[in-house]
A = this chain, B = another copy of it.
Amino acid sequence: MSERSNKQIRLAKRPVGEVQHSDFKFTESALPELGENGILLQNLFIALDPALRNWMDDFDGSYIPPVQLGAVMSAVCLSRVIESKNPDFPVGTIVRGLAGWEQYTIAGADGSRQVPGLEIVQVEEGIPLSYYLSICGVTGLTSYFGMLRVGQPRAGDTVVISGAAGAVGSVAGQIAKRHVDCRVVGIAGSAEKCRWLTEELGFDAAINYRETNEMASALRDACPEGIDVFFDNVGGETLDAALLNLAMGARVIMCGTISNYNNDVDDRAGPENMWQLLVKNARIEGFTVAYYGAEWAQTTAVLSQMVKAGELKHREQIVEGLDNTIDAFRGLFVGANQGRLMIKLAE
C-alpha cells in the first residue's frame, strides 16, 4: 500500500500565545510498509480540544508529553483499521486512541508510532460514529467523572458550569440534573447558547457572560444560597467570581482553564480569591479523565443508554477536511464552535 500518500500537520514551532498557521507545516508522503504487528489506521474523525494547546508547549510537567518539533500534532482520533498484521485489531475494526492531525496513522512495532490508549470501539446501532469522540467518548466521560466523582453533587445542590454550552459543560449539566436532581446554572457566551441550555437541555438558568459586566454579582443573583458545585472549564476571572459565591463546603471541579491556555506556563496567575476556600471550607480539585481509565468501558455503556433514551442531548460541530484543522482549532478560543468540535476526514 505504499502508493497511498499521507497528509499530515506537523508542529513547526512552539506557539506564543494564540496559535498561528505559521506554527505548523503540512507535509505529504507515501505511507511505509507495515512492520511486524503493524496496524494501518485511516483516521475518520479528529477531536479538537482546547487542551491540545498545552501539548504544543515545551513543558514536561503535564499529563501528556509535549509534541516534539517536527512531529505530527497529537490528537484523539476515531479511526478504521484498513490494514493489519495484528490479530487483536482486524481490518474493519473501529478504534480510538491518541493518533494525530493526519489522514493515516501507522501503529505498532518496528519504528512506527505508538498510539497511546488504542482501544476497539464497540459500535452500537443507533449511535453515530462521531458520538464515540463526543458524548460516548472522551468529552462525555470527562463530564461524567468530573461531575459525579470530583464534584460529588447532592440532590438540591446548586451547580454552576462555566463553558456550559461546550462539549463537556453541556453534558455535565445534564448529568447533574438527571442523575442527581440539582439546580443547574450555566455560563455561556451568546443568547442562543443560553437559550439552548435552558430550553433544550433543561438547565434552570443561564448567564450570558458577554452581556454581564460583573460576573460575581450575576452569580450572586442566580445563586442566592451560594454555589455548592462549580464545574469550571474556563478559569481566570470566571473562577474568581465563582469563588466569591461559594456555599459552605463547596466543591470546585477544575476541568480546564481555557482562559489561560494561550498564556505562558510561567504566566498563569491563580485565582485572587482562592483564600475563599478557607472561609468556606471548600475545595478546588483537578482531574484528567485518564485517571478513571479502568471505568471507561462501563461508563460509555451508561452514556450510550442515556443517549438512546433521549436523556442526554449534545451538539457536534463537524468540520470537513484536514486543511481546516488549524482554523477550527483557533475558533475554540473565541467560542466560535457550538458543541464538540471534530474534523471529519473520511466516511
Contacts and interface: CB of A to CB of B under 8 A. Distances in A.
A309 interface: no
B268 A278 contact: no
A282 B272 contact: no
Interface in A269-288: 269-288
Contacts of A244: 61
A200 interface: no
A283 B283 contact: yes
B271 A62 contact: no
A263 to B, nearest CB: 10
Contacts of A277: 254, 284-286
Contacts of A50: none
A268 B269 CA distance: 10
Contacts of A278: 63, 254-257, 286-288
A284 B253 CA distance: 11
Contacts of A285: 277, 281-284
Contact of A274 (B282, B283, B284, B287): B284
Nearest to A243: B270
A288 to B, nearest CB: 6
A61 B255 CA distance: 26
Q: Which of A256, A257, A272 is most buried by chain B, counting CB atoms within 10 A of its CB?
A: A272
A66 to B, nearest CB: 13
Interface residues of A, number: 35
A249 to B, nearest CB: 8
B281 A284 contact: no
Contact of A61 (B63, B276, B281, B283): B276
Nearest to A261: B275
Contacts of A283: 283-286
A272 B272 contact: no
Contacts of A276: 61, 286
A237 to B, nearest CB: 12
A139 B336 CA distance: 52
Interface string A230-268: 000001000000001000100000111100100000111
A201 to B, nearest CB: 25
Contacts of A272: 266-270
B275 A274 contact: no
B284 A288 contact: no
Interface of A: 61-63, 235, 244, 248, 254-257, 260, 266-288, 291
